[in-house]
Amino acid sequence: MTRAGQAVVFAGQGCQVRGMGAQLHEAFEVVRWVYAEASEALDLDVAELCFTADRRLHLTEFTQPCILTTQIAAFRAAQEQGLRPVLFGGHSLGEYTALVAAGVLDFAAAVRIVRQRGALMQRAVPVGQGTMAALLLDDIARSGAEAEVVAAGAQVANVNSPSQLVISGTTDSVEAARLRLARALPDLTFVPLQVSAPFHSDLMKGIEGPFRAVLEEEAAAFERGGAAVVTSNYTGGFHAPDTLLDHLVAQISAPVRWLDNMAALGRGARRVVEVGPRPVLTKLFAAVGTEVHMVGSPDDVVALRRRPGATLGDPSFLTDHGAQLAYVIGGLGWGVGTAELVQRAASRGVLAFLGTDGVSEAAVHTAVAQLQGALSQGAPWGVSVRWRADAPEQADALLEKVVATGVRHVEVSGYPGLTQALVRARLCGARLDGQGRVRPGCRLLAKVPREDLASRFLGSPPERLVAALRAQGLLTPAEAALAPRLAMADDVCAEADGGGHRLGASPFTLLPAVLYAREAAVAEHGYAVRVGAAGGLGDPRAVAGAFAMGADFVLTGSVHTCSPQSAFGERVQDRLAAAVVSDFAPAPTVAGPHSEPQLFLKRGSLFVARSHAMHRELGADGAEAFQRYLDEALQRARATVPDDEVDVAIRCGSALGAFNRAVQGTPLQSWQARDAEAIAWFLMDGAAQILQGRVEGQTMG
């Protein structure tokens, strides 16, 4: 695992304080939603428990759901300000908060689970018969302290840092340990803890069976595939999906291996953020030389406030996709958009799609597996599927296989209409969340070049296609019943002329038309789909124009072909970095009547002229020869040193020429500095500053 992005951590029982979350509740609407959802799940006023002098706050049955709710409330508020962790960890109870934050466990189910966990833990040992204590001593692991604890009949409950252990046991055994330690290690500090039970000891084993039944009852609330980004207190490493529930059960009576958890998080993240009522884990990380940023108050949350570019677009886009920007790197076909580009962007909070057009199915599946192994659950990435008239069945087949691998974000383009595969991808796995909202099986972003196609994706899945899938047993009755409540896409992107494809529509006519189509869909169906803009967006002014016209997000492609993560060779990159807007022209990419003209760099290459000549001369009968010529020319573009630098196909749109002009005199003038996220932030920050300048100018006027 490479070190990239942030890790977020949550403390366990003992971090609670009276009034926790009250200021956040007053400051942020999302916090009020979280407390309301927890209250509904428990049939209990969680806000009142946390904010007032209610004595139940210190009873384990109530303490645990109150802490989890307050932590998730603060986390949601921090997310709105741009916090996008890639790894998650929690200490004891905090492990459940981490699972919720990572999207592995439904929040409403989590508060129910930990309330029952707390009740079971409290009943495991009569009050007053069990206790815990913290032991503080430099290099405590080699001090012999643990041997003294065991000899006294107590157990190590937490391995928290190189200088701190927590022990647990009966009241008598912990007192015996205190006396033995005082004699053997006079420099050791012994701190009794104010807890109501001897957690993480063998005295808890009797509740493992009942607690397993609690977890099995809520098993449907777990998305176990994402567990690999959450640390396990039981093992010290990261969870494995198939052992998640077993290890949560075992955690109750086993030691918390927090020192190992900190090491695991440190290997995978560059920055650690603690979220909760007060700093607890921050001190433990400091003991291993890791600085932690604390987020617990409204001021802490506001301090995370986003860069200018992150203020543009629809905030729900950021939440739904786990992104920092309302910005998309569309799928770049013909092998140009590499898995490395997607990984780089997604690990830094930029939504990116893996291009599959012109790529073998085997290569696609290899790239998907690479991304699933490298990126955290919830990272903003997906796969692009393009429908082609010369092979109409291939897109649906690829879509079904990609979704079957667990990919939950898909970009589709080129489709002339809706298909069973699109409807199935949307509805298979669809469910209601804890607040009664429909969650789709797969999030779809549909790129459309016409208003009528936009209307199809803005509406519900057609009844005839839903019925056909239901009849074939490809949808359950519950999934089919959700169809009228769900649009065909989460996002519809008006894909205008000016990008890699020659589509004919102007962005100044297409985007407003799609926005009008959305208004009609809202009037008919009652829900709104986000609408974005694509095509020719290579300059901050163009991006600002898209948002000023009403776009909820923007999608780019060509500007990312010239970057260290692109598959183009260095010689080609040098040529692309020097290109201007007029250096691009359309060329055919398929022989015969189904040809789709796409834009290529014409400066210094004869490919555009030769491909047109071959297309005219060979016609449909020469499809094989034309395809061979195209493949060879495309392959040369990806070579470090092409064997023929004149007959090379460099697929790219004129937006790159605009970008080259915009970055002159900046570090991004060099293509070697154009990492995926750097390009995105340059365009978005620049657009935000332009729009803010216009607003301030109008205000001053």
Report the catalytic residues. 92, 200
- C-alpha span between 190 and 105 (Å, rounded): 37
Whole-number Cα distances in Å, 330 to 81, 109, 111, 381, 559? 25, 35, 38, 10, 11
What 8-state DSSP symbol labels residue 142? G
Contact 48, 65 (CB under 8 A): no
Could you identify the residue written with the tokens 């962005």?
507
Nearest residue to 51 via CA among 78, 16, 84, 80? 16
- C-alpha span between 89 and 358 (Å, rounded): 40
Nearest residue to 150 via CA among 165, 162, 163, 138? 165
What 8-state DSSP symbol labels residue 204? G
- C-alpha span between 74 and 50 (Å, rounded): 14
Nearest residue to 512 via CA among 465, 473, 551? 551
What 8-state DSSP symbol labels residue 672? G
Nearest residue to 8 via CA among 69, 79, 64? 79
Could you identify the residue written with the tokens 């932590």?
71
* Joined tokens for residue 510: 């297409």
Neighbour count for residue 701 (Cβ, 10 Å): 5
Nearest residue to 383 via CA among 431, 434, 445? 445
- Cβ-count burial of 464 within 10 angstroms (0-12 exposed, 13-18 middle, 19+ buried)? exposed
Q: Write the DSSP assignment of 14-73 as a string of letters.
A: T---TTTTHHHHHH-HHHHHHHHHHHHHHTS-HHHHHHS--GGGGSHHHHHHHHHHHHHH
Half-sphere exposure of 166 (CA within 13 A, CB side): 26
Contact 196, 122 (CB under 8 A): yes
- C-alpha span between 120 and 322 (Å, rounded): 35
Contact 5, 267 (CB under 8 A): no
CA-CA-CA-CA dihedral for 681, 687, 693, 698, to nearest 10: -150
- C-alpha span between 627 and 435 (Å, rounded): 52
- C-alpha span between 330 and 560 (Å, rounded): 9
- C-alpha span between 301 and 478 (Å, rounded): 39
Report which secondary-structure segment, H or E, holds 147. helix 145-151
The residues pairing with 411 across neighbouring beta strands, listed in sequence order, are 384, 445
